[in-house]
Amino acid sequence: MLKRVSFRNVSIKDNFFSPRILCNSKVTINDCLDKCESTGRIENFVNAAKHLKGEEHGEYTGLMFNDSDVYKVIEGAAYSLHTYPDEKLEKRVDDIIEKIAAAQWDDGYINTYFTVKSPDGRWTDMNFHEMYCIGHMIEAAIAYFESTGKRTLLDVSIRAADYIYENIYLKNVHWIPGHQEIELALIKLYFLTKDEKYHKLALYLVEQRGKGYPFLDVINKCIDGMGGRKYNQDDKPAEELSEISGHAVRAMYYYSAITELAALDNNSDFEATMDRVYSSMLRNMYITGGIGQSNKNEGFTEDYDLPNKSYCETCAAVGVVFWASRMNRLKGLSKYMDIAETAMFNGSISGVSLSGDKFFYENPLTSDGTHHRQPWYECSCCPTQISRFIPSIGDYVYATDDDNTVYVNMYMQSDAEFECAGQTVKLSQKTNYPYSADVKITLKNTLDKAVSLKLRIPGWCKAFAVKLNEKAVSDIKSDCGYVVIDNISNENDEIELNMEMPVKIMHADERVQNDKGKVAVMRGPIVYCMEEVDNKNISEYTLSSDCVFTETEIEQLKGIPALKEVHSGAVFVPYFAWDNREEGKMDVWINYDEKKDGWLYR
Amino acid sequence: MLKRVSFRNVSIKDNFFSPRILCNSKVTINDCLDKCESTGRIENFVNAAKHLKGEEHGEYTGLMFNDSDVYKVIEGAAYSLHTYPDEKLEKRVDDIIEKIAAAQWDDGYINTYFTVKSPDGRWTDMNFHEMYCIGHMIEAAIAYFESTGKRTLLDVSIRAADYIYENIYLKNVHWIPGHQEIELALIKLYFLTKDEKYHKLALYLVEQRGKGYPFLDVINKCIDGMGGRKYNQDDKPAEELSEISGHAVRAMYYYSAITELAALDNNSDFEATMDRVYSSMLRNMYITGGIGQSNKNEGFTEDYDLPNKSYCETCAAVGVVFWASRMNRLKGLSKYMDIAETAMFNGSISGVSLSGDKFFYENPLTSDGTHHRQPWYECSCCPTQISRFIPSIGDYVYATDDDNTVYVNMYMQSDAEFECAGQTVKLSQKTNYPYSADVKITLKNTLDKAVSLKLRIPGWCKAFAVKLNEKAVSDIKSDCGYVVIDNISNENDEIELNMEMPVKIMHADERVQNDKGKVAVMRGPIVYCMEEVDNKNISEYTLSSDCVFTETEIEQLKGIPALKEVHSGAVFVPYFAWDNREEGKMDVWINYDEKKDGWLYR
């Protein structure tokens, strides 16, 4: 069982995420707050507060779960304030929090949709996202408290959580949130407060599912084609799950909570069920780490059914990072971080433009030229998801365990200082990852008790070499997909990891009909695609098996290396960077000509 | 059409071939000469000379074509003397040449088997290798003349060639050599002497084949199971060939000659036929570059029939280098050098131990532990083939054309000085190839007229970068599998080529039944294998798709990097280096477990 090392302990100084974190801080956060204001999302809180005071007020505007966007961008702002303190932003958030606090009922309830529109409708429809919104509020509150020490939103959140605990858990009322989220938020709240209530409530909400309680017809009624127990993840108890189902984002949050509970409670049934479901997810995952094939219900279809006109919501790919990294902490296996990394570098960050102010909701692997990032969406979960994901990316770099081991899960140039088995460990990482896979890790303080470093060897890496204090380590010790370097205790102890990171022509499993005769290009964790702006007639282009690539620069993509196929001149750009220039067609999976009368081996 | 740059113009100073060239000079050459003496091969010449003088003499000993071994080791000694002058060796060869010269008939005929054993049997059996032996004598003579300026053996050879020209060509006698070789030797003699006779004779010997001349029953009689027109490469005229057939070494020498003639005579029919046959060869080639599946007849069986208990004679793999490099010069395509390189680094040099004094005749891809290098063979073509191949390896580094282009066909640390379109070009190469794929090439003199450098991008390389005078070349010009760097004329102009050379898990074409469910490990041009000395139960070992390798050192293999699979600890050594330690089983193709419920892409 590994322990999280927070992004707060990791100061990122790389060429990849640092500019994105800065851009998120300067552009995305403010932009999302502006949108929350201009679309009435903040005003909904003001109207709800007025309603509570019996004052005259305007109508509720927008979708029923619009509160959550405000919470998510506050969470993002909170993370951002840790790295880039910003009085003006903090003041702006403080003001919004005042408005939120004023919209809380005396009993602890808070949801502007029901308050303004239908106060008597509270808790009548499990699919109306009341718990989902409160969950996001709890996460925002914890983040803001941890960054600023201010507890207004945290107190609101604790009151709301206590209210649910008393009225649902203590009264043993059957309820399942239409959209999971609150479960993992409650576990965070438990970690912060050490109050077992929240742990119990989280477990209770998980255990309510799939136990044969009377079926909620109302879920069917409200959203066309999104009904059914399986879609609503209510068909089986958590411990009996064997395949991924339903709405992709809800699934990721649900499984993240189950995985946390498996770790917290040493629940081997939960662990076993997560193993099964995780395997099932891999049979439904795009090469970008995207999941959720269907645009009909934002959910899954069938194993190996992976049409490239995929839905692949940004939020779901971020959810993959949430779940996979928790699986890593539960099981200590590096392979989970491979998937987290894939989703991180491809299907997640593709969700935001390089300028930081345009967003994808859907992340298809092909486009006829009509799919573009938008400044905002009516349902704007994805922009706000990005706003909180990017500034907390440092969460995935390190983990520890009680056995004096530091897990290096992600390679990212940074300085870190964190606790490991009771002592402070300071590490610096020098690397140009993901554009190079040479990493130097230096211990920056002397340790009383030596630690072991476990370096993740990514699944894409077929060969590497390790040096300890400039001497090659020939007797490599390996465990769970990590290389283990024992006995690190001296200031300036230096570990060098040099990984081969070739350009690879990727073949899909033959059961994926949609990619037959096609290949994708990857280098390390990065998936590449072809855009029409660089290449004519991409749909007619065929990559030959004798292809060979060289790096090339594209001015408008400032510093992001592209690849050029040398014989054809075809240009491939990282998938995350597409649709940042002229509009046009895009393809990840490229027609492939495997010369069959040539050399017999590949 | 490219021009050969001789090894005489390329001074190799690398860590890979230099020690082998030295070892060949100090050990292999002398050892082969010793064996030629102790097995009566030299004595056969003495006896033949006595016979000619009517003196009493001993019996002929050994196989009918044993003269050829003496010629081949003289050829090797000649190449070696160029690089490592050695008075003692030169004296030893001079003495042998005296004995050879004394064994030539007045009419120019020379063959100790027929002279001693059956003077009246001359030219009665096309399969008794008279022309084969004379061919090897011609090659040795040219080499010795070029290295020492001494013409005794050259004069003997010219007399022998003239004798055949007069008695076969001028008299229009039908004859095909049972074992081709003399054709390409005659072309070399033509290049040296510029005498069209030898060119005409070479073409004549090629044209005699497959034209429906009365079939030679005698070929069938003499060697069991090796008969038939197709096996004897007499079923079709050269210009109508479409598939590889017959004895593998004869095939390589035959096609090498046809390819030379295609270039010399601008013969597009020959070129087209070589294209077809070459493709056919690739369908019969092992991953080591080895050819000739069958131990029944040292020949080919069927496309894709590649049993790992393969025959793969060392001579045939060397023959692949001969033919493929000639195809490269004929057609200017880099892909031919990929095959030459594969055969060179694997199936050829596997034929000699690291100590230089033990040889493989057969180079199978699997061994039950009973296959070992021997100090000599009754039919010892392979040791003597190695003795002449290793010291001339520099032949494959560069080529030129009339358009001021220098082709860099092989990466090998060296200093070179050669003519290109009328001017002297001096190039130095710095690289640790094949253990690294970073190459620096520097022009060492100022040129009046700028040249273009064409750098071969090997087929195994999927990505590379080029720098010219320390600046990245982003607008890569590519042609025929080469990267083209124009306008090189200044002393110290420096081209840096950095190629990705990852460890690769190689899959055989699905039509190769013998390798189903198995993979091979390669890195750059080097094929790896598992030996029992490093690994228990190699036949039960299964490489998993999540394998990852690191370099490891094996003391007894001094400096040759091995690979260790990190999770299992399994050790893989270069195929060329196997059977240099304790005896045991060996496998190139390893059982493979492609985890099917994991990640969908590879």
Of A183-187, B52-56, B225-229, B394-398, least confident by mean pLDDT is B225-229
Q: List beta partners, residue A466.
A: A497
pLDDT of residue A228: 78
pLDDT (average), residues B312-323: 98
Please say if the pLDDT value at position B165 is more than 50.
yes
CA angle A553, A557, A560 (to 5 degrees): 65
* pTM for the structure as a whole: 0.93
CA angle A157, A162, A164 (to 5 degrees): 100
Q: Which residues of B558-575 are buried (b: 16+ CB within 10 A; e: fewer)?
A: eebbbbbbbbeebbbbbb
Q: pLDDT tens across A340-369, in order?
A: 999 999 999 999 999 999 999 999 999 999
Please say if the pLDDT value at position A232 is more than 70.
yes
- Shortest CB distance from B279 goes to which of A508, A564, A597? A597
Rounded to the nearest angstrom, the minimum Cα separation between A523 and chain B is 10
pLDDT interval class at B216 (50, 70, 90) = low
Count of Cβ atoms closer than 10 Å to residue A221 Cβ: 11
Q: Search chain A and give the residue with CA nearest B504.
A: A462
Give the separation between CA B488 and CA A84, rounded to whole angstroms.
51
pLDDT of residue A285: 97
In CATH, the number for domain A398-499 is 2.60.40
pLDDT interval class at A124 (50, 70, 90) = confident
The reply to whether residue A550 touches residue B338, judged by beta carbons under 8 angstroms, is no
pLDDT of residue B597: 59
pLDDT interval class at A558 (50, 70, 90) = confident
Residues, chain A: 602
Give the separation between CA A218 and CA A222, rounded to whole angstroms.
6
pLDDT (average), residues A279-306: 94
Please say if the pLDDT value at position B258 is more than 90.
yes
pLDDT of residue B572: 98
- Shortest CB distance from A507 goes to which of B457, B506, B602? B602
pLDDT of residue A224: 43
pLDDT of residue A596: 62
Please say if the pLDDT value at position A278 is more than 90.
yes
Q: pLDDT tens across A102-118, in order?
A: 999 999 999 999 999 99
Give the separation between CA B313 and CA B248, rounded to whole angstroms.
8
Give the separation between CA A506 and CA B38, rounded to whole angstroms.
57
Q: pLDDT tens across B373-413, in order?
A: 999 999 999 999 999 999 999 999 999 999 999 999 999 99
Q: Which of B550, B563, B594 to mutate to test the interface with A (most CBs of A within 10 A)?
A: B550
Q: Does domain B226-395 have CATH number 1.50.10.20?
A: yes
Are B374 and B358 contacting, i.e. CB atoms less than 8 angstroms apart? yes
Are B103 and B112 contacting, i.e. CB atoms less than 8 angstroms apart? yes
Residue A445 CA: distances (Å) to CA of A13, A448, A449: 19, 10, 12
The reply to whether residue B563 touches residue A463, judged by beta carbons under 8 angstroms, is yes
pLDDT interval class at B447 (50, 70, 90) = very high
Q: For this structure, is A298 an active site residue?
A: yes
Please say if the pLDDT value at position B226 is more than 70.
no
Name the percent of chain B lying above pLDDT 90. 90
pLDDT (average), residues B250-261: 98
Contacting residues of B for A597, CB less than 8 Å apart: 279, 282-283
Give me the catalytic one of A36, A381, A529, A547: A381
Residues of chain A with CATH 2.60.40: 398-499
Give the separation between CA A64 and CA A53, rounded to whole angstroms.
21
Q: pLDDT tens across B499-554, in order?
A: 999 999 999 999 999 999 999 999 999 999 999 999 999 999 999 988 999 999 99
pLDDT of residue B220: 47
Which positions ≥6 away from B85 have C-beta within 8 Å? none
Please say if the pLDDT value at position B559 is more than 90.
no
Of A45-59, B115-129, B326-340, B361-375, least confident by mean pLDDT is B115-129
pLDDT (average), residues A567-576: 96
Q: pLDDT tens across A129-165, in order?
A: 999 999 999 999 999 999 999 999 999 999 999 999 9
Q: Search chain A and give the residue with CA nearest B594.
A: A509
Residue B363 CA: distances (Å) to CA of B73, B293, B384: 21, 10, 16
Please say if the pLDDT value at position B212 is more than 90.
no
The reply to whether residue A597 touches residue B509, judged by beta carbons under 8 angstroms, is no
pLDDT of residue B595: 74
Antiparallel, parallel or unpaired: β A549-552 and A590-593 = unpaired
Q: What would the two tokens of residue A129 be?
A: 């996202």
